[in-house]
């Protein structure tokens, strides 16, 4: 039997580590353990993410999570400092720009109004305004865009390491082990079994295993529709001069942002076969990404892809939104915080705080995220995000 704890968090990526950090903020004496099987995070989604953080969503919960998370990330270098040494999150408030054709303009307008009502600084740009603001952009087929100048991007590994170092300094215990089972009876989870056979007894168990969270949920018999979805990220350069760009996204799921001398981004293939596949298809950039880039920004006709890597989205197949909460009426001390479907880095601070509140206060104390709970999964009642995903 390993040393027991109050809360055992399975998965020490940015989401699990954020839960640990906020638990120690709310309950400094709580005994919190994070069980992470790979402290190098070789395959963790967090280290393969693009780092984007935006407020442009259609579900008010997602906007609200960004409204908390983005200022948290922006000031994390200081907040997460340990013994006077700051974190290295490298936040850049480069802004976000979502662009749509005529078929999606009503949705964009509705989302824009919702975001404004939630105090997001956002600019509505019609095609002429887009052309004037971003002269390199070909606006053929584009009806409008929304620019949110306070959004931006960071180094996801910097955020993870900052949260991890700070959490450890506050007393969070990291256990380097693979979780192979969960001890439980009909209604209560009792502890986490690791590969040595030892059991970490816990009053609360949190499943923050990202793309692997369905397997962790299955250990207590909980069905969770979260699947690993491979997505490529590319670093590319062009010799042509382009004005400073924000993080640009369109409805075909092309998304990219400036990075160093070049750009980082990709184009999600939603039809990709689900599975733990990290193979890189070196033809994908040329086949799918480059034509989309060059059509929208002709300056990219001359671009060159310097590096491609593959990572996993933890895709919620029901509705593309995260599952945040416990298993109501079944195993109330077992919590899930997964299924962010491409937004887990940006929403990790808010989701971590929310789960910490559920455990410490027994309710959402700041943001009401109940619509993102497990109930909708059990009832097969999707709550869909209608921003550009
Ligand atoms: C190419 C790409 C680009 C992305 N871009 C963005 C972006 O711009 N903005 C954004 O917000 N998000 C982005 N994402 C999504 C983001 O990376 C994820 O949503 C986020 O990192 C999820 O964090 P996590 O902690 O849940 O998962 P992870 O970082 O994957 O952490 C889960 C951890 O659980 C551990 N684990 C799993 N099973 C076990 C077990 N049995 N025992 C012990 N440990 C276990 C794993 O080792 C892993 O470290 C992107 C993802 C990809 C792939």
Find out whether the beta carbon of 319 lies less than 6 Å from any atom of ligand 1.
Answer: no
Find out whether the beta carbon of 344 lies less than 6 Å from any atom of ligand 1.
Answer: yes
d(CA 125, ligand 1 centre) in Å: 33
pTM of structure: 0.98
Q: What is the pLDDT of residue 129?
A: 98
Percent of residues, the chain, with pLDDT higher than 90: 97
d(CA 47, ligand 1 centre) in Å: 7
Q: Point out the residues of the chain with pLDDT beneath 70.
A: 1, 388-389
> Closest residue (by CA) to atom 8 of ligand 1?
52
From 21, 35, 47, 50, give the residue whose CB has the most ligand 1 atoms within 8 Å, as the site to mutate. 50
From 9, 11, 276, 385, give the residue whose CB has the most ligand 1 atoms within 8 Å, as the site to mutate. 11
Average pLDDT, the chain: 97
Separation between Cα atoms, residue 111 and residue 116, nearest integer Å = 9
Q: What is the pLDDT of residue 389?
A: 55
d(CA 291, ligand 1 centre) in Å: 29
Percent of residues, the chain, with pLDDT higher than 70: 99
- Extract the tokens encoding 179: 């979780």
pLDDT in tens, 213-233: 999 999 999 999 999 999 999
Find out whether the beta carbon of 41 lies less than 6 Å from any atom of ligand 1.
Answer: yes
From 35, 37, 38, 45, give the residue whose CB has the most ligand 1 atoms within 8 Å, as the site to mutate. 45
Secondary structure (H, E, C), the chain: CEEEEEEEEECCCHHHHHHHHHHHHHCCCCCEEEEECCCCCCCCHHHHCCCEECCCCCCHHHHHHHHHHHHHHHCHHHHCCECCECCCCCCECCCEEEEECHHHHHHHHHHHHHHHHCCCCCEEEEHHHHHHHCCCCCCCCCCEEEEECCCEECCHHHHHHHHHHHHHHCCCEEEECCEEEEEECCCCEEEEEECCCCEEEEEEEEECCHHHHHHHHHCCCCCCCEEEEEEEEEEEECCCCCCCCCEEEECCCEEEEEECCEEEEEECCCCCCCCCCCCCCCCHHHHHHHHHHHHHCHHHHHCEEEEEEEEEEEEECCCCCCEEEEECCCEEEEEEEECCCCCHHHHHHHHHHHHHHHHHHCCCCCCCCHHHCCHHHHCCCCCCCCCCC
> Closest residue (by CA) to atom 51 of ligand 1?
49
Find out whether the beta carbon of 44 lies less than 6 Å from any atom of ligand 1.
Answer: yes
Q: What is the pLDDT of residue 3?
A: 85
């Amino acid at each position: 039997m390993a040393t027991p704890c109050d809360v055992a968090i399975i998965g020490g990526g940015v989401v699990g580590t954020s839960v640990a950090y906020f638990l120690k903020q709310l309950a400094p004496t709580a005994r919190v353990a994070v069980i992470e099987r790979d402290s190098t995070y070789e395959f963790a989604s967090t280290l393969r993410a693009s780092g984007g953080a935006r407020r442009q969503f259609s579900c008010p919960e997602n906007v609200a999570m960004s409204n908390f998370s983005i200022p948290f990330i922006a000031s994390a270098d200081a907040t997460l400092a340990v013994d006077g040494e700051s974190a290295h999150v490298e936040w850049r408030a480069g802004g976000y720009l979502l662009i749509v054709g005529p078929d999606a303009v009503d949705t964009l307008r509705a989302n824009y109004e919702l975001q404004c009502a939630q105090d997001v600084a956002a600019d509505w740009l019609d095609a002429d305004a887009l052309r004037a603001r971003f002269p390199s952009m070909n606006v053929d087929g584009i009806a409008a865009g929304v620019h949110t100048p306070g959004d931006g991007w960071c180094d996801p590994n910097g955020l993870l390491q900052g949260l991890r170092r700070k959490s450890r300094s506050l007393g969070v215990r990291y256990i380097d082990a693979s979780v192979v089972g969960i001890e439980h009876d009909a209604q209560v989870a009792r502890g986490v079994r690791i590969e040595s056979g030892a059991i970490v007894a816990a009053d609360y168990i949190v499943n923050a295993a990202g793309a692997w969270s369905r397997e962790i949920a299955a250990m207590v018999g909980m069905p969770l529709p979260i699947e690993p979805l491979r997505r490529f990220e590319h670093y590319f350069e062009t010799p042509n001069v382009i004005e400073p760009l924000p993080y640009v996204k369109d409805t075909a799921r092309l998304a990219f942002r400036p990075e160093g001398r070049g750009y980082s981004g990709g184009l999600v293939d939603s039809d990709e076969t689900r599975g733990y596949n990290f193979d890189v298809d070196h033809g994908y950039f040329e086949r799918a990404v480059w034509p989309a880039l060059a059509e929208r920004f002709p300056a990219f006709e001359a671009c060159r892809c310097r590096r491609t890597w593959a990572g996993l989205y933890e895709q919620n197949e029901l509705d593309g939104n995260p599952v945040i909460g416990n298993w109501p009426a079944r195993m109330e001390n077992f919590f899930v915080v997964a299924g962010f479907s491409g937004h887990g880095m940006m929403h990790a601070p808010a989701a971590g705080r929310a789960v910490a509140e559920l455990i410490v206060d027994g309710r959402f104390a700041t943001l009401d995220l109940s619509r993102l709970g497990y109930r909708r999964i059990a009832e097969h009642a999707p709550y869909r995000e209608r921003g550009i995903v």
